[in-house]
Amino acid sequence: MLIFRQLFDPSSSTYTYLLADGKSRAAVIIDPVFEQVRRDAALIAELGLRLLYTLETHVHADHVTGASLLKKQTGCSIAVSADSGAEGADRYLVPDDVIVFGERNLQVRKTPGHTNGCLTYVLDDRSMAFTGDCLLIRGSGRTDFQQGDPQAMYRSVHQQIFTLPDTCLLYPAHDYRGLTVTSVGEERQYNPRLGGETGEADFTGYMKNLHLAHPKKLDVAVPANLKCGRPDSEVDVTAAPGWAPLRYSFAGIWEIDPHGLEEHARDVQILDVREPNEFTGPLGHIRGAVLIPLGMLAERAGELAKDRPIVAVCRAGSRSAQATTILREAGFSDVANLAGGMLRWRAEGHAVEGGTALDPILEYSI
C-alpha cells in the first residue's frame, strides 16, 4: 500500500509530497518548505513513518527548502540532482537512479529547462510522477533565469514526461490557481504551451514573451538552497518551547502528555474548560486547576496570568484544544493542550481531586 499526501505552502504556492510504503513505513518527502517543517514533521510522526530522504526536484528560486531542518529533526538523508550545484547533500542523483523506500521506489529522470538540475521522479508502477517546475498544470516552469532553456524544457517534456502512460498522474511543484493534479494524457492534449501540435519553436516563442516578475525571494532562496537550506545561525527555528516537553500536532496545536504535565504542574496554570458539573463530577479534576468553561473563556481570559504558561484541560482533549486557540487570540503565547484530557490523565494513573473510582469512569460519557 502507498501512503500519499499532497501538502501546500500558501505563501509560495508550493506543493510538498509525502510518499511512504504502508508496510515498512519507510517514507520520502519531495520539495519540503522551510517554514512548513514543523507541520511536515508532525504528520510524519503521527502517521508513524520513518523518513529516509528529502528529495529536491530542483534548486528553488522562490522559497527555501526544508531539507536541512528535516535532516536535523528526523535523521533523514538529503538527495539532490548531481547537476544542481548544491553543497551538503548526502546523495547526488543521476538519471535512472532508483530511490527505494520499503517495497516502493521512485525512478529519477532528468528534465532540464527550468534549471539545469531539474529532476522528475516517477513512481515504480508509473501511476504518478512529480514534475517539479518542468511541466505545470496547463503550463510550465519559467525559463528566464537559473540556466533556463526553453528548448531543453520542450525536449524534457516530450521525451521524459509525455512518454509516460496517458493515465500517469502528474504532480507539479507549484500551482498558482489552486489546481492540484493533472495527467499525461490531458497535458499532451490540452497544455497550451506544449500540448497538441505545438512545436519547439512555438514553445520558445511563447516562453520568451512571458515577461514574469522575478520571484520575491530569489536573492535569499537560491543561495540558501545551494546549501540544501542549512540555516546561517545555529538557532533552531523548529525547536519546541522550553517550558515543558511539548509536541506540535499536525492539527496545529502544542500538546503535553499527562506525564509531562505532572512533572511541570507547579510551574504552570492548569485551566479546566469543562462545565461546572463535570469539574465536580466522577472524573474529578487536577489539583490546582482553575475552572473557566470553554464558552466563557474569551470574556474571562483576563482572569489568567500572562506570565505563566497555561495548560488547558477538558474531558477528552478536544474542547481544550479549542481553548488554546482562544487563548492565543487573547494574547497568551505559552499555551498547550493536555493530550487525551482527563480520560487519559486518569487512565495513566495520575491523581485527581474529587471523582470516583476508575472503572465506571471509562464508561462515563457526556
Q: What's the one-letter identity of residue 291?
A: L
CB of 60 to ligand GSH, least distance (A): 6
- Judged by CB under 6 A, the residue of 177, 199, 212, 239 near ligand GSH is 212
Nearest to 365 by CA among 315, 323, 320, 321: 315
Q: For residues 15 and 53, which CB has a smaller minimum distance to ligand GSH in the complex? A: 15
The region of 100-108, 116-124, 126-134, 262-270 touching Fe ion under the rule CB under 5 A is 126-134
Chain positions 73 to 112 lying near ligand GSH, rule: CB under 6 A, are: none
Chain positions 29 to 48 lying near Fe ion, rule: CB under 5 A, are: none
Chain positions 246 to 305 lying near Fe ion, rule: CB under 5 A, are: none
Instruction: Report phi then psi at 308, rounded to 5.
Output: -130, 135
The region of 60-68, 121-129, 191-199, 267-275 touching ligand GSH under the rule CB under 6 A is 60-68
- Three-state secondary-structure class, residue 132: strand
Q: Which does 65 bind (CB under 5 to 8 A by kind): ligand GSH, Fe ion, none?
A: none
The region of 64-72, 92-100, 127-135, 164-172 touching Fe ion under the rule CB under 5 A is 127-135
Task: With beta carbons less than 8 A apart as the criterion, state whether 161 and 151 touch.
Answer: no
Q: Tell me: does residue 61 bind ligand GSH (CB under 6 A).
A: yes
Give residue for cell 479549542.
322
Instruction: Report phi then psi at 160, rounded to 5.
Output: -105, -25
Chain positions 108 to 167 lying near ligand GSH, rule: CB under 6 A, are: 133, 139, 141-142
- Judged by CB under 6 A, the residue of 174, 274, 285, 315 near ligand GSH is 174
CA 109 to centroid of chain Cα atoms: 24
Instruction: Show Cβ contacts of residue 202 under 8 Å, excluding neighbours closer than 6 positions.
Output: none
Name the H helices within the chain: 37-46, 67-74, 150-155, 184-190, 200-208, 218-225, 258-264, 276-279, 294-300, 319-329, 341-347, 358-363
- Judged by CB under 5 A, the residue of 56, 97, 133, 257 near Fe ion is 133
Q: Which does 117 bind (CB under 5 to 8 A by kind): ligand GSH, Fe ion, none?
A: none
CB of 135 to ligand GSH, least distance (A): 11
Q: For residues 213 and 305, which CB has a smaller minimum distance to ligand GSH in the complex? A: 213
DSSP 81-130: ETTS---S-SEEE-TT-EEEETTEEEEEEE--SSSTT-EEEEETTSSEEE
Q: The dihedral of CA 132, 135, 136, 140: what is its sign?
A: positive
- Judged by CB under 6 A, the residue of 88, 95, 102, 215 near ligand GSH is 215
Chain positions 3 to 22 lying near ligand GSH, rule: CB under 6 A, are: 12
CB of 11 to ligand GSH, least distance (A): 9
- Footprint of Fe ion on this chain (CB under 5 A)? 60, 133
